[in-house]
Amino acid sequence: MSTPDLLYSEAEDDLRAAVRSLLADRCPPSAVLAEAEGRRPYDPSLWRSLAAEMGTAGLLVPDKLGGQGATAREAAVVLEELGRAVTPVPYLTSAVLATTALLGCDTDEQHVARLLGALASGRAVGALALPLSTPPGGGAPPATVTARGDGALTGRVTGVAGAAGAEVLLVPAEGPDGYGLYAVETTALGAADAPGTTDGPGAPDAPGTAETPATPAVPAAPGVTVEPLTPLDLTRPLAALHLTDAPARRLAGPDRARAAVGRALTAGAGLLASEQLGLAEWCLTETVRHTKERHQFGRPIGSFQALKHRMAGLWLELVSARATARHAADALAADGPEVPVAVAVAQAYCARVAVHAAQECVQLHGGIGMTWEHPAHLYLKRAKSDEIALGTPGRHREALAGLVDLPAPAG
């Protein structure tokens, strides 16, 4: 087992600076608040700048397939910054989950390579059609969709993150030959590059786009209906996907499909820890800033010993969270045998730290922290949503106990 490298490289620091600069200019808290109940699942202009112009959508994709040829370490840095800004973009769902699932298929096949190229370039957004709460481990989850011999899909999947506005849906389904992974294209991928296109993927009038969290189901393509749900976290829309004889193409058979889906869920859970880390860091930084400026009894409230202890304790939690998140990203980059353990540890710990940091941020801001005008509630909702995404902390602790052969206490 190799020694994990928890430090950031110079290239990773440069990537962080570039992403942070973009988000500071294009995605300040005021903009996120304004868009929280908007018509679009995400800002297509911001996504185009982040995914296509900066090339972050293709970090996990090899050069020969149209990507950047980077690793999970670089993707983790991007997710840290997206967590710091609770950025409403489909990076986790498209550039990590959907992309990793495609990488698990036969990339020598022209259709798979074409889809990967579209996602890596930012021309298209993809979504893995599984509930966001689906944990990794234990094999691929059972399919709730069935496939006919011609590939047409019928069924329903609920709680899918990133489905609204996605041009490529990767759907696990049970077909005549058993379990498989199928691709449903809701939009012709070439349309994103057509002359005169200004809004790009996910624009307000694009098929499948939800106007508000309560918008009725919207036909996205023949046989495909996206029903927006009302999520706790308005910056990461969820939807129920209804398929009725939807045209699809089979990408992988039983064994390969199960492995591809399992690999995508593992990578998503491991890199989600970096988003949770970035979220917690913003909460602590903002809380420290506020307690320095807010005065009571003629002195900054941050000088009160009780508050110092709370913030110092939170800082110690963040140090450990950074170590576990970086370990998970480094293990995923190396693709070594320690990946399951590193991912389970990262999710079991970072999810709790993110929620604690967001709760402290709201509480230590006092009355203003409880208002809609302050962004603290966005971080708390994202933290709580992330806590159950891709497996709860309890589910990951249970998985970790099995991985390290730690028996449960005798009942």
Q: How many CB atoms neighbour CB 61 within 10 A?
A: 25
| Residue 184, Ramachandran bin (φ over 0: left; ψ between -120 and 50: alpha; else beta) | beta
Percent of the chain with pLDDT over 90: 69
Of the candidates 135, 126, 134, which has an alpha carbon nearest to the alpha carbon of residue 60? 126
> What does the alpha-carbon distance between residue 96 and residue 75 come to, in Å, rounded to a whole number?
8
For residue 299, the cross-strand partners are: 296
> What does the alpha-carbon distance between residue 45 and residue 58 come to, in Å, rounded to a whole number?
17
pLDDT for 159 equals 95
- Calculate helix-pair angle for 376-388, 254-293, nearest 10 degrees: 150
CA atoms within 13 A on the CB side of 301: 16
Q: By three-state DSSP, how is residue 160 classified?
A: strand
Q: By three-state DSSP, how is residue 115 classified?
A: helix
> What does the alpha-carbon distance between residue 401 and residue 406 come to, in Å, rounded to a whole number?
5
Strand 178-185 relative to strand 168-175, pairing:
antiparallel
Q: What is the pLDDT of residues 137-164, one digit of tens each?
A: 877 788 899 999 888 999 999 999 999 9
Local confidence band at 189 (pLDDT 50, 70, 90 cut-offs): low
Q: What is the pLDDT of residues 197-215, one digit of tens each?
A: 334 333 333 333 333 334 5
Instruction: Indicate the pTM of the whole model.
Output: 0.89
Q: What is the pLDDT of residues 340-373, one digit of tens each?
A: 999 999 999 999 999 999 999 999 888 787 787 8
Dihedral sign from CA coordinates of 225, 230, 235, 236: negative
Higher per-residue confidence, 216 vs 249: 249
Higher per-residue confidence, 212 vs 284: 284
The DSSP annotation for 18-66 comes to HHHHHHHHH--HHHHHHHTTSSSSS-HHHHIIIIIIS-GGGTTS-GGGT
Q: Which two tokens stand for residue 200?
A: 């790009």
Radius of gyration (C-alpha) of the chain in whole angstroms:
21
Q: What is the pLDDT of residues 230-277, one digit of tens each?
A: 899 999 999 999 999 999 999 999 999 999 999 999 999 999 999 999
Q: Which two tokens stand for residue 178?
A: 């058993």
**Which one-letter DSSP state was computed for residue 199?**
S
Tell me the average pLDDT across 184-203: 51
**Which one-letter DSSP state was computed for residue 3?**
P
> What does the alpha-carbon distance between residue 231 and residue 213 come to, in Å, rounded to a whole number?
7
